[in-house]
Each structure stands twice: as C-alpha cells, then as structure tokens.
Structure 1
C-alpha cells in the first residue's frame, strides 16, 4: 500500500469484466468498439461507492460516517451534484420553514436523487397543522413543497385542558399562544367536531354575540350557552338558531340579561322558563307573602 494512503483498493477482476462486456456487445463506431452510453458513468459511481463502502467497513466507522454524512447512497449522490441546495416552500401561514424541513425529514445530508417525495408528503401530512402537502423534485438539486395549513377555528375545552382545533375538529395543538385566546370556545365531549354548528348559533345571536363566552355541548345533541355574567341559556335540540334569535329579541325588548337570573331554559317551544338568583327568588317570595287574600297585588 503506498505511503499516506488510508486503504488499498482491491484488485479488480479485469479479465472477467472485459469478457462480460464482450459478451454483451460494444457499440462499434469507425471500426472501434465503445461502451454503451451511460455505462462509464455508472461504473464510475459504482467504483466510488465500492471504495467508500470498503473504507468505512474496514475502518469500523460506519455509524460515525452515517451520522456525519447520511447514507452512503446520499453521500455519493451529493458528490455528483445531486445534493439538496434549495427547498422552495409555499403556502406557509403559521408554520415556519424549519418546522417543515424537520417534519419532512429533510437534512443537509439528503439528496434529490434518493429522497422519496411520497414519504416526505406522508410525514408532512402527519402534522396536525398541515391539511395537505405536495412534494416535487427539481433536478439536479432542488425540492418544491406546497403546504395547505389547517386554520385555527375554535378552542375546545375537555377534561380541564384547552386545545386549538380546525374547522373539521382536528386538534392542532394545546392552547399555548395568546393569538388564539379570542377564538370561540366550545366545551364537552366531541364539541370540537361540532364547533361549526356553534358558530352558526353565534351568528344568529346578533349583538348578543359579544356576551356569549362559551358553548357547552350536552350529550352530543344540544347546546347550552354560557354568558359573560355566568348566566346559562339552555337551547333546544331542534332549531336552536331560532331560539338564539328569540333570546336576542327578548334582550332587546325586556333587558332580561340585566335581571338576577341564573338559568334561561328555552327547550320548550311555547315558553321561556327562568330560574331566578338567590336574591331575586327571596324578593319574589317576600312579595308573594304581601299579596292580599283577594289576590290583588299589595301596595308597595
């Protein structure tokens, strides 16, 4: 082995190689035989791959080589100009490019030649924030990625934890960003997948919408509204938007939300039932005691 060499390349079986090529046939040009087009490049790549693999195994540095350079095939591809020099990402709103690269498994050791666009797309679409992704190779050294994000649509409270959810109910993340605190809040099992129904109720509330703080899904069938003063409005299972519109009319005409009321029950179509607060109930009881026997109201 020559001085300074890291390893000695093995002796290639030249005679058998030439015989094999002779059997497969050369391309004859001007009375001279030449190798088929592309075979020389393939043999060169194979030579470098063989030398690199031999050296890695001979030195016992396979794990270190992979950690520093990726797979051998990617390393060879990068040496021939197929490394990923640029990744063009479009469609980002909330996510960052670094998050896309990490989720897709794309690193400086990757190569355009051996990266699998279908696998990258599958990895990206496993991210809750990503609804759809497409990945294309742009030879020799670029990737193009298009992302369609899920938009934060509502907050979902369940078992004491609050999540950011998309319109289809997909949980995007825990609520850890102040930007999302003003999203509509739904509470209860499977309320996340019915959040679009809750927003229809908010739209029907008109000016009353600003006072509604949350919607609680009851048994997966109907909603209770929680207002900013703690008042609970129980809506019917059938046609709840009409009930909300009626509530808005009552507030406009009678200011019922200003009263000492704990619960407004609108589940019956022909009446509105109200449960008074402690003070209002006591005052009502006291007033009832002062009524004269004739049934006329007592003077106050």
Structure 2
C-alpha cells in the first residue's frame, strides 16, 4: 500500500521584509511622501526643465510685461493733470519746474515720495503733500514759509522765515518795505534773537534802518542819520533798555551822537558825529583864542 505524504502548510506569518514595509506604510509621513511628494517632485523636474529653455523664459517675460502694461494703463490708473494749491504765481512756476511729469502717466510710474522731496527742496516751501486724487489729478498741497525779515548778503536780498530758513528772493528792497533788514555773516543762525531786538526797538521803529551782524557774535542797530547802537554779545535786550533809559533822561538819540556803545556793561560810550566834532573843535579854537 502506497504511503500518502500530507501537504506542507505555509507559515501564515509575513516575511521580515514584508512586515517592515507594511509597518512603514502605516507611517503618515511615508504615505504622504509616496502619494504627494513623489508626484510633486516629478512635476517640478518637468517644469524646471521646461522653463530653463531661454526661448520659454523670453516668452514668459514678454507675456508678463504685456499683462502688467495693460493693467497699469487702465483708465482708472492714469494721471492726466496736476493741480497745485496754496501758492502764489512764482512758487507755482518753481514747483512745476521741480516736477517734470509728462501727462498722461500711470500712477504706478509716479514716485510720490521722491516728488515730495523735490518740492520741499524749493526755497520758500516749508512742507508739501502729493497724492493722486479723483479723476486722474495729481494733487500738490504746499505750505509756504512766511518771510520774517530780509537778509542782504553777497547773493542779494534773501527772505528768511522766523526760524532762519530761506523763503525766497527779492529784486528790490521796496518789494517788501514792511519787513526789517539785516546784514552780515551768520544771520540765519540768529534770526530769533534779531526778531527779539526788532520788537524791543518799537519806541524808535520809525528810525530803524536795520541790524548788522558783527563777527557772527553780536549786533549793531543802524538808525537814520547814520546813528549806530553797538550792542554786546550777551544780553543785547537789556543793553537796549539801558540806551532807552539814557535817552529818556538826556535825549541822546536826538542829539549829534553818531555811536552809542554799550558793549561795556559798566557805562555807555558816546561818540559825536563829524559835524558835532567840527563844531566842538571850532569852539575850542575860539575859546583858546580868547584866552590868549
């Protein structure tokens, strides 16, 4: 009788390699890498290979520039004119010269900060605001410097505001007769002090011709009849009060006095005018003749 061998049963347990693969597949990161990462990497390689072609790059740049130009030149983005507010005729022409904008122009092509800086660099402009308003109008708002006095120097007649900043030019002193006049070097750093001195000169305002800055340290007051009041470097206002007190007591400013020097705080020094000196010399000669 033939002996029958029973069939060999397979081990139901997975192999070591298969077990490790199945455990790895259960990892979320690994599944995401296989399902998403590899396809994305594959597509990325294809795209990079495609766009590295110079012809493709040139075509892409052309299409991008065309699309950008079409968007920038849409009617709602175009600036057609400029309007300047808050200035006179002279400043208006200076502002337009400082803003060489050719209209119409896209608002995307306007550097508003650079335009604002150009306007604020103009003498006479204290502050400026620039924006694109409705209906394609470039709105330029200007705050002009207010002239406080006239500075006569090598450049001619220069207007200064109360802080010493230049605010324009004059062709003639008669163009602004209401503004006080100053001369000398370094005036722009001492405008507040000059304004205080002019205010203190109110009692003789009708006789004041101007102030002279001496050595960038102190002031001389020039009155009519070529009278000069020499003020000290320190406390010039107090020195003016002493002069006015002396004038009230002895009427010195209405006499033949050419110079009143109060730089020495102890006592004022008076110098007679040339005609007064000549008269004094004649009197002395006459007196000497009579004595002889």
Q: TM-score, normalised by structure 1?
A: 0.65
Per-residue CA deviation, residues 249-269 of structure 1 (Å, 9 max, x unaligned), is 333443222222221111122
Match of 2:66 among 24, 46, 50: 46
Per-residue CA deviation, residues 146-172 of structure 1 (Å, 9 max, x unaligned), is 222111121112237322222232333
More helix by share: 2
Match of 1:101 in 2: 96
1:112 corresponds to 2:132: no
Change (3 A) 1:164 1:44: same
Match of 2:166 in 1: 171
1:276 corresponds to 2:272: yes
Match of 2:231 in 1: 235
Equivalent position SS for 1:113: helix
1:157 corresponds to 2:152: yes
**Unaligned regions of 5+ residues in structure 2, if any?**
1-46, 48-61
Return the alpha-carbon distance in structure 2 between the equivalents of residues 287 and 98 of structure 1: 64
Per-residue CA deviation, residues 87-110 of structure 1 (Å, 9 max, x unaligned), is 444433575545433322333243
Return the alpha-carbon distance in structure 2 between the equivalents of residues 46 and 80 of structure 1: 16
Aligned residues: 228
Return the alpha-carbon distance in structure 1 between the equivalents of residues 118 and 201 of structure 2: 42
Match of 2:133 in 1: 138
Q: Which has the larger radius of gyration?
A: 2
Change (3 A) 1:240 1:214: same
Match of 1:225 in 2: 221
For the 8 Å contact 1:112–1:140, the answer to whether it is kept is no
Equivalent position SS for 1:210: helix
Q: TM-score, normalised by structure 2?
A: 0.66
Change (3 A) 1:47 1:243: closer
**Unaligned regions of 5+ residues in structure 1, if any?**
1-22, 24-41, 50-72, 293-297
Change (3 A) 1:291 1:270: farther
For the 8 Å contact 1:262–1:277, the answer to whether it is kept is yes
Return the alpha-carbon distance in structure 2 between the equivalents of residues 132 and 241 of structure 1: 33
Match of 2:240 in 1: 244
